[in-house]
Amino acid sequence: MDRSTAPTCSHIGMAVLFLLLPFSFSDDRLVPGRPLSPSSTIVSDGGSFALGFFSPTNSTPAKLYLGIWYNDIPGLTVVWVANRETPATNGTSSSPALSLQTNTSNLVLFDGDGRVLWTTNITGAASSAASSTGLAVVLLNTGNLVVRSPNGTTLWQSFDHPTDSFLPGMKFRISYKTRAGTRFVSWKGPGDPSPGSYSYGIDPDTLQQVFLWNGSRDSRPVWRSAPWTGFSVTTEYKANAGGVLYLAVLNTDEELYFTFSLSDGASYTRFVVTYSGKLELQNWNLGRCRAVAAKQLQLSSYSFCGPSAYCDITDAVPTCKCLDGYVPTANEEWSNGSFARGCGRRREAFQCGGPEFPAEAPSRR
C-alpha cells in the first residue's frame, strides 16, 4: 500500500509528541563511513518507517534516543528504541552518531563524547563473515532494521530485540531448550522510553500461555491468554475495519512462536504493551487520517473473566466465554458484563446414558 500521499491532520490516539523532526535521506540504508547523526534519518523503501534520533518533549536537558517510528502518521509513534537505558546527549564538541563498523560488522551508537551507548553485539563467525564491501544496515518496510553481509545474510535484526511493540512479521517466540524468549517491555511513561513496569511474554514454565506481568514473571500477573493446546492455529479477525489480521501459532522442534500478518491494503497495526499496563491492539485508519481507538485485549485485569472462563480475542469484540462443559454461574450478571463469578459445571456434563450408567439415578423412598 502506498502511504506516501497520506493526508495531514490532527492525530488522535496513543502517540506521544517529540522534538527533533530531522531531515530525511532518500536512502533506506546505512553503510560504513556514512554515520547517522541527529540531523538526518533513513526511510524504508516504500516510506512506511523511519530510523533516527528523537527526544521527549519533557526532557531537560534533551535526551536523545535512537528509534524507529511510523514515517507518515501525524504525530511521532515510536515502535522500537535502541538505547532505552542509555540516552545520549550532545557533547561539548560533537553530536551522537550511529556508525556501522567494518572490523566487527556491528552497528554502534556513540554519544557526543565518543562513548559507546549501544551496539548490536554481533560476535564470532557472524562478525568475521562480512567484509566492508557490500556490508550494510537496511531499514525494511516492515519496520525491521537488519545488518546484512555482502552476500545478503542477515547478521542481526531488530525484530529479534523488540521493545514494547509486536509488529506484523515479527516472531514472538520461546526456545524449548533454553526457555528464553521474546519479552515486550513497556515504556516507563508517556514521554520516557526507558524500560517500564510491565512485560509481556510466553510463560517459560508451561509454554502454554502468554502472560502480562507487572515487573518480573515472578510478580503477580496482570493478564494471561487461554492455554495453547499444542496444535498449530491460525485465526483471523477484522481490525477496526482497517483490514484483516491473521494470527498464527507455529510449533517447531526448536521453538514455539506467534506471528501475525495483515491483509493487502490494511492500515498500520501493532500490538503494544502500554506504560499503564495494558495490552492494546492499535490500528490507524489512514483514509480518515486518525488512529482508531485502541482495542483493549486483556478485558481489564487478571481473573477478569472469573473461574473456568477465558477471554476470546478472536471475536470482533473480545469477550468472556466459559470453558467447554461450563455455564455462567450468574446468568444475569454475565449478561450485564460482570464476569467475576465466572462459570460452573454444566449439570448435563455428569449425566450418562446406557444400562450401566442411567441418565437419572432412581430415587430412594
pLDDT of residue 309: 87
Section 109-130 average pLDDT = 80
Global pTM exceeds 0.85: no
**First-to-final CA distance of the chain:** 76
* Class of 23-122+133-161 in CATH: mainly beta
pLDDT of residue 273: 92
pLDDT of residue 353: 53
Record the cell numbers describing residue 46, joined without a space: 516504500
Closest CA to 35 of 48, 44, 25: 25
- Which range of 135-139, 253-257, 316-320 scores highest in mean pLDDT? It is 135-139
Q: Lowest-pLDDT range, 11-25, 228-242, 323-337?
A: 11-25
Measured CA to CA, the distance from residue 164 to residue 220 in angstroms comes to: 20
Of residues 102 and 91, more confidently modeled: 102
* Class of 163-300 in CATH: mainly beta
Q: pLDDT tens digit string along 155-166? A: 999 999 999 999
* Residues whose CB is less than 8 angstroms from the CB of residue 56 and which lie 6 or more positions away in sequence, other chains included: 16, 18, 19, 63, 191, 192, 193
CATH 2.90.10.10 residue spans of the chain: 23-122+133-161
* Residues whose CB is less than 8 angstroms from the CB of residue 167 and which lie 6 or more positions away in sequence, other chains included: 79, 142, 143, 144, 159, 270
Percent over 70 (pLDDT), the chain: 71
C-alpha dist (Å) from residue 303 to 186, 220, 316, 342: 21, 11, 21, 9
Res. 266: pLDDT tops 90: no
Q: pLDDT tens digit string along 296-338? A: 444 446 677 888 888 776 666 667 889 888 999 999 998 888 8
pLDDT of residue 310: 80
Res. 47: pLDDT tops 90: yes
Of residues 163 and 72, more confidently modeled: 163
**Three-state DSSP class for residue 234:** strand
